[in-house]
Amino acid sequence: MKKYLIVFMILLGLILTLGFSQEEFKENVLTLNDKPVGFGESTTGGAGGKIVTVDNISDFKKYAQAQEPYIILVKGVIDTSKEEGQVKIGSNKTIIGITPDASIIGWGLYLKEVNNVIIRNLTIKNKVENPKNDAITVEASQNVWIDHCTLSSDMVVVPEREKDKDKVDALLDIIKGSKGITVSWNIFENSWKCTQVGSSDSSTIDAEARVTYHHNIFRNTNSRNPSVRFGVVHIYNNYYQNILLYAIASRMGAKVLVENNYFDTVALPITTQFESPQDGYVKESGNLYWDCGDNNITQELKELKVPYNYELDEADVLSYLLEKGAGAGKEVEIK
């Protein structure tokens, strides 16, 4: 009897797991009607605009920098390496890769003082060695959704490469008070500096920042996953793997809610004290740690409520769930 009960429980667990996975893996088929969760929930991108397809840098810039709203479908590799800097993106744009190799290679994308931009299903590599070359920079902007992208440089993150850390910049900078931002289902990898909210210890305008990071993979980075100064940031259901220095840093009075993340081989998962004159605040719960150092939380928030609805996955399913669902190269339905 005991043997049959064990078999029954195993089968029940498999059924529940499969049901869960099928529901969640709807994320693997993207549509133009998908909506963000988090601080960026009001973002609509180029909705209502003309749908265009691009496969070269000239056409990409033509539509991405136009005044009118556009839904820009990216096919193949867009080579930006011969540009003079990051490629500027205008307001009211949806940019989405529609082929498995849809990518931006060379200089990254620059969103400055814009509103309502969606970037999805793209591989973006900041291969140009320049300290001002982020894969994506969001500066003084609002209502931005970055989803199902794979952002990387070519750096192998090991201690002896620290001398090369400034040859390229970060993968995603959200600065100068940018707000209404959601960063979801992305892969960040192979970069010394990964992503930050707030540009410096003196940039007090970043107190306006409102950013959600959820269901992302951060792996093979040194730090800034993210680093947060001044603003309010919600970090939930992310998977951290092989982080050399620290994963999450809250600095300069920032308020950071850290929920149900999985930290795997991370030297310092969460800290409120790192190279700034003022510590930040953190409220953490439901996180899973495997082969990690201790957190360094000097100031703990009693409560931090966010103004949107969201559902938490358990931390112990994230490695499987996100390896299947995060990053670029997904199928896209255009209707």
Alpha helical stretches, state H, the chain? 2-24, 57-64, 318-325
Strand partners for 225: none
Burial label for 39, CB within 10 Å (0-12, 13-18, 19+), is buried
Burial label for 75, CB within 10 Å (0-12, 13-18, 19+), is middle
224 in active site: yes
> Which strand ranges, in their side-by-side order, compose the sheet holding 255-259?
50-54, 70-74, 93-97, 115-120, 142-147, 179-184, 210-214, 232-236, 255-259, 281-285
Give me the DSSP letters along 147-169. ES-EEE-S----GGGGGGTTSS-
Give me the DSSP letters along 225-285. SSEEESSEEEEES-EEEEESS-SEEEETT-EEEEES-EEEEES-SEES-SSSSSB-EEEEE
Query: How many angstroms separate the Cα of 161 from the Cα of each of 154, 226, 256, 313, 320?
Result: 12, 20, 30, 35, 30
Separation between Cα atoms, residue 238 and residue 216, nearest integer Å: 5
Active-site residue, selected from the candidate residues 120, 219, 224, 229: 224
User: What tokens were used for 50?
Assistant: 């003309």
Q: Among all residues, which ones are annotated catalytic?
A: 224
